[in-house]
């Protein structure tokens, strides 16, 4: 599990730096999906009655991110073979599928921003909702993700946010604001960590200053830099991967954390989203335009959205899934799991308050530089 979390997030971390999309904030993303839908016009008609047993699927996904017996289950339920390729990072997935020739991959699991970029390049098959009846299982909010409003080319597989994970017994007052991380009391010195990956390094300061997490404004970023440098001078530590373990050992008292990574099964550890708000990330499933097995690909996505299948993710990786039926099933099967893992209980409405991280194109270099400047400061 921990490996999954590691491999999944490290790439997401890299989201910051580089797709060459010129769009900025959420407002722009509507037009993105509209533009993105354009190439879809000239799509082959899919046959709803196609003989799936004559098809087979190649998918690429993060290690441990789906049930081990998925291929067998698909084979027995739908009658076709599924071959799974593993990628460590979004970049690796991109390297695999972002080619003009047929990559042999039918379905790819990538983060939302990457799905958006692939679609911009006309590499994705627009979804045929009539072939995915289980889309009805999704929360209505799942079609409101700003990189793909209306799920035109991607189906969200997981979603979540970033907040503060803390030890109730080690902090005097529970945190309420990002400022609690940026300027903590002196007794927590050496016991607070933030993430170093670019966009998440900037997130607490951006939100504390009430700016968009997708800002490219130099003046705002200069203020962010100042705030982060102050935090470093105060004694901030940086950790992208082991903050959960540090909290459990009591080596850290308060950390910036992704929801699924906060070890809230420990009764002394709590997760909260600061009042200034946070981000909203999502990993999605997309079908490649070059796929020769599109009917099977749709059937596969439909199968994943089956509550009995999709709930596996919440139960085993502890990531929220945007599937109402699946989350209900988790609540029904294992109430204790939900009780123990507060972040799993966040409602879609709460999640949607988060701002989607959008790719900043060339401007993402500003965040890279900011991160380097912060870490180079002695």
Partner 1 sequence: MAGPSTGRPSRRSRALRPLAARLVFLGPGLGFLIVFLLVPLALMMSYTIFRRGRFGGVVYEATAENFGRLFDPLYFDIVLSSVRTAAVTTLIALLVGYPTAYVIARLPRRWKTIALIAVVLPFWTNFLIRVYAWVILLSGPGLVNETLTGVGLIDKPIQFLYNEGTIVTGLLYSYLPLMILPLYAAIERLDPQLREASANLGARPARTFASVTLPLTVPGVLTGCVFVFVPCLGNFVIPEILGGGRSIMAGNLIRDQFLKARDWPFGSTLALAVIAVLIVLLFLQAWASRAYGGTEGRRA
Q: Which residues pair with 84 in a beta bridge?
A: 59
Q: How far is the CB of 24 from partner 1 (least distance, A)?
A: 17
Q: What are phi and psi of 192, to 5 degrees?
A: -125, 135
Q: Which residues contact 151 (CB under 8 A, 6 or more apart)?
A: 127, 129, 135, 138, 142, 143
Exactly one of 2, 265, 332, 372 binds partner 1 (CB under 8 A); that residue is: 372
Q: Which is nearer to partner 1, 219 or 249 (CB)?
A: 249
Q: How far is the CB of 91 from partner 1 (least distance, A)?
A: 5
Does 197 engage in binding with partner 1 (CB under 8 A)? Answer: yes
b/e string for 228-245 if b means 16 or more Cβ within 10 A? beebbeeebbbbbeebbe
Q: Which is nearer to partner 1, 217 or 251 (CB)?
A: 251
Does 370 engage in binding with partner 1 (CB under 8 A)? Answer: no
Q: Which is nearer to partner 1, 122 or 190 (CB)?
A: 190
Instruction: Name the 3-class secondary structure at 286.
Output: strand
Does 236 engage in binding with partner 1 (CB under 8 A)? Answer: yes
Burial group, residue 44, by CB count within 10 angstroms (0-12, 13-18, 19+) = exposed
Q: How far is the CB of 308 from partner 1 (least distance, A)?
A: 34
> Are residues 43 and 299 in contact, defined by beta-carbon separation less than 8 angstroms?
no
Exactly one of 73, 75, 149, 232 binds partner 1 (CB under 8 A); that residue is: 232
161 Ramachandran zone, left/alpha/beta (phi>0; psi -120 to 50): beta
* Chain residues 264-323 in contact with partner 1, contact rule CB under 8 A: none
From 77, 82, 78, 83, select the one nearest 52 (Cα to Cα). Answer: 78
Q: Which is nearer to partner 1, 335 or 369 (CB)?
A: 369
Q: How far is the CB of 262 from partner 1 (least distance, A)?
A: 19
Over the window 175 to 194, marking each residue x when it contacts partner 1 by CB under 8 A and - when it does not, the resulting string is --------------xxx-x-
Stretch that binds partner 1, among 60-68, 91-99, 128-136, 303-311 (CB under 8 A): 91-99
Q: Which residues contact 328 (CB under 8 A, 6 or more apart)?
A: 307
In Å, what is the CA distance from 173 to each residue of 50, 90, 136, 169, 176?
60, 38, 42, 10, 9
- CA-only gyration radius of the chain, Å: 21
Does 231 engage in binding with partner 1 (CB under 8 A)? Answer: no
Q: Which is nearer to partner 1, 269 or 352 (CB)?
A: 269
Site residues (CB under 8 A) for partner 1?
10, 13-14, 16-20, 89, 91, 94-95, 98, 114, 117, 189-191, 193, 196-198, 232, 236-240, 249-251, 365, 368-369, 371-373, 375-376, 378
């Amino acid at each position: 599990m921990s490996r999954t979390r590691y491999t999944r997030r490290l790439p997401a971390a890299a989201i910051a730096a580089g797709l060459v999309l010129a769009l900025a904030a959420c407002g722009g993303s509507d037009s993105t999906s509209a533009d993105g839908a354009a190439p879809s016009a000239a799509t082959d008609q899919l046959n709803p009655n196609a003989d799936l047993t004559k098809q087979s699927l190649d998918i690429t996904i993060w290690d441990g991110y789906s049930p081990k017996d998925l291929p067998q289950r698909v084979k027995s339920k739908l009658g076709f073979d599924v071959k799974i390729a593993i990628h460590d990072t979004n970049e690796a997935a991109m390297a695999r599928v972002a080619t003009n020739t047929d990559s042999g991959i039918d379905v790819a699991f990538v983060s939302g921003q990457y799905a958006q970029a692939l679609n911009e390049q006309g590499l994705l098959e627009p979804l045929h909702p009539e072939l995915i009846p289980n889309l009805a299982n999704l929360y209505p909010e799942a079609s409101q993700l700003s990189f793909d409003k209306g799920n035109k080319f991607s189906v969200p597989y997981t979603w979540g946010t970033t907040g503060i994970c803390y030890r109730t017994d080690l902090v005097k007052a529970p945190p309420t604001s990002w400022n609690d991380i940026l300027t903590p009391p002196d007794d927590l010195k050496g016991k607070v960590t933030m993430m170093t990956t670019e966009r998440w390094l900037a997130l607490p300061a951006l939100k504390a200053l009430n700016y968009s997490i997708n800002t490219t404004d130099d003046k705002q970023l200069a203020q962010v830099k100042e705030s982060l440098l102050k935090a470093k001078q105060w004694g901030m530590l940086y950790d992208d991967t082991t903050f959960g373990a540090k909290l459990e050992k009591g080596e850290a008292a308060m950390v910036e954390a992704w929801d699924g990574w906060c070890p809230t099964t420990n009764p002394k550890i709590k997760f909260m989203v600061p009042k200034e708000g946070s981000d909203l990330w999502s990993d999605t499933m997309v079908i490649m335009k070059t796929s020769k097995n599109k009917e099977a690909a749709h059937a596969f996505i439909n199968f994943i959205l089956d509550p009995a299948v999709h709930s596996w993710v919440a139960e085993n990786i502890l990531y929220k899934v945007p599937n109402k039926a699946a989350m209900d099933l988790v609540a029904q099967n294992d109430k204790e799991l939900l009780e123990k893992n507060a972040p799993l209980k966040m409602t879609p409405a709460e999640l949607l308050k988060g701002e989607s991280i959008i790719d900043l194109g060339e401007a993402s270099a500003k965040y890279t530089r900011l991160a380097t400047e912060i870490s180079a400061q002695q």
